[in-house]
């Protein structure tokens, strides 16, 4: 899954794709490089970023979604708002990737069920755009696993098909560095529940803290290695900025298995 942010303030690539034509070109390049899914987002969720209205989010993403779908791309919507998801699905997107696990907007779960869309449920503590400073986890892997399974069951009870649900432990959202690493190491415990697991560690700040690399785009080597480690431990989807580096690293890993 390649990241196609159309925001002015995302932590790594904010401002790079404000022109829809540039975003579409980048997305099609990612597909040519080996991306299976394009995750299009119009609202940054990094700490300190400004929230935007659903209308502005739609204005940013819809031309891009329409252009990518027209070229045959599989598009995911990185949104937590039902109004945006409804418009994006109508434009041809197939997946809703919600950082709130369909909790922030009460209309989101019924919408996903009614439209028979695939959904990615992410674990998050605290609110988007704010750093979490609450109590520590007792067992981060088990706590996250239980939360995501509860949300998956809620989706199934609402009519979402089990095979349409994927789980994301939410690296970079309310976790300390050691907890991020524990979640990657514990991917197999989440995967054993039978749902596809998505790991999104690309260029995250915890990599910067571990390596001392400040510029997000310079974190691609570590990001690619962590993607391989996640796949080795059971992840089905890795969400990345650099498709080429990830594909090459995965190809070598698979050849050596």
pLDDT exceeds 90 at position 136: no
pLDDT digits (tens, 9 = 90+) for 74-83: 999 999 999 9
The reply to whether 204 belongs to the active site is yes
pLDDT exceeds 80 at position 185: yes
Query: For the structural domain made of 2-256, what CATH number should be given?
Result: 3.20.20.20
Gyration radius (Cα) of the chain, Å:
17
pLDDT exceeds 90 at position 29: yes
**What pLDDT score was predicted for residue 89?**
99
**What pLDDT score was predicted for residue 9?**
55
* Rounded average pLDDT over 163-169: 98
Q: What's the rounded Cα separation, in Å, for the pair 123 and 171?
A: 8
Q: Which of 22-36, 97-111, 122-136, 187-201 has the lowest mean pLDDT?
A: 122-136
Taking all residues of the chain, what is their mean pLDDT, rounded to a whole number?
93
Catalytic one of 46, 239, 254, 257: 239
**What pLDDT score was predicted for residue 133?**
56
**What pLDDT score was predicted for residue 134?**
63
Catalytic one of 80, 94, 145, 204: 204
Contact 30, 241 (CB under 8 A): no
**What pLDDT score was predicted for residue 166?**
99
* Rounded average pLDDT over 182-186: 97
The reply to whether 239 belongs to the active site is yes
pLDDT digits (tens, 9 = 90+) for 198-221: 999 999 999 999 999 999 999 999
Which residue ranges make up each domain of the chain?
A: 2-256
């Amino acid at each position: 899954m390649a990241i196609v942010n159309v925001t002015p303030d995302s932590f790594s690539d904010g401002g790079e794709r404000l022109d829809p034509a540039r975003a579409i070109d980048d997305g099609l390049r990612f597909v040519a490089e080996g991306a299976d899914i394009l995750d299009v987002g119009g609202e940054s969720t990094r700490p300190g970023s400004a929230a935007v209205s659903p209308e502005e989010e739609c204005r940013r993403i819809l031309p891009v979604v329409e252009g990518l779908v027209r070229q045959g791309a599989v598009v995911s919507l990185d949104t937590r708002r039902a109004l945006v998801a409804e418009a994006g699905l109508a434009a041809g997107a197939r997946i809703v990737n919600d950082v709130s696990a369909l909790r922030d907007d009460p209309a989101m779960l019924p919408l996903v069920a009614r439209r028979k869309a695939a959904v990615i449920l992410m674990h998050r503590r605290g609110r988007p755009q704010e750093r979490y400073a609450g109590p520590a986890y007792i067992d981060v892997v088990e706590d996250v696993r239980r939360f995501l399974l509860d949300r998956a069951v809620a989706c199934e009870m609402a009519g979402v098909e089990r095979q349409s649900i994927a789980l994301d432990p939410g690296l970079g959202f309310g976790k300390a560095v050691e907890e991020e690493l524990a979640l990657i190491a514990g991917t197999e415990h989440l995967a054993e529940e039978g749902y596809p697991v998505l790991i999104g560690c690309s260029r995250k700040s915890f990599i910067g803290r571990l390596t001392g690399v400040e510029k997000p785009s310079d974190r691609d080597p570590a990001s690619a290695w962590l993607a391989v480690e996640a796949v080795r431990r059971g992840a089905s989807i890795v969400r990345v900025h650099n498709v080429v580096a990830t594909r090459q690293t995965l190809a070598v890993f698979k050849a050596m298995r």
